[in-house]
Amino acid sequence: MRLTADTKVYIEVYMKIRELAQHWQRNATEELSPTRYQLRLGLEAGARLEALAEMYPLRSAEELLGELVAAALEELAASLPYVKGNKIIATDEQGYPQYEDIGPTPRFLALTHKHMQPLQQSSE
């Protein structure tokens, strides 16, 4: 069985993995990227995906896979480490300085934004 997944890669709206089952039960749909991604799963991952597709028959395996990837990317983005820079970019409510993040998060967000623009344009 060959599975494909339409996914969009941005951080703003995706839910956590533990919320996916509730999402699937509600059968909500989201705007999809015009780009199709193909991948092969290992046997166990494939069996788990087929089990989910059987448990949630209103969702196709492709939809489930796309939502799983989106949730995993959201969790990945949230887990990227903050690395304190030297530059103060703001102060918090108590007046403490907030330092720029020089870790991977700003680059990931900038690259996500860079790739989002052409995806949005080609979906119009």
Q: Could you write out the three-class secondary structure of 22-76?
A: HHHHHCCCCCCCCCEEEECCCHHHHHHHHHHHHHCCCCCHHHHHHHHHHHHHHHH
State mean pLDDT over 82-103: 94
Please say whether the dihedral angle defined by the alpha carbons of residues 14, 19, 21 and 25, taken in this order, is positive or negative: negative
Number of residues in the chain? 124
pLDDT for 110 equals: 94
| Of 6-10, 15-19, 87-91, 118-122, minimum mean pLDDT range | 6-10
Number of CB atoms found within 10 A of residue 61's CB: 19
State mean pLDDT over 60-64: 90
| Of 2-11, 23-32, 83-92, 106-115, minimum mean pLDDT range | 2-11
> What is the token pair recorded at 21?
């089952």
Model pTM score? 0.67
Given a cut of 50, whether residue 2 has pLDDT beyond it is no
Residues 32-50 pLDDT 10s: 777 788 888 899 999 999 9
Given a cut of 90, whether residue 90 has pLDDT beyond it is yes
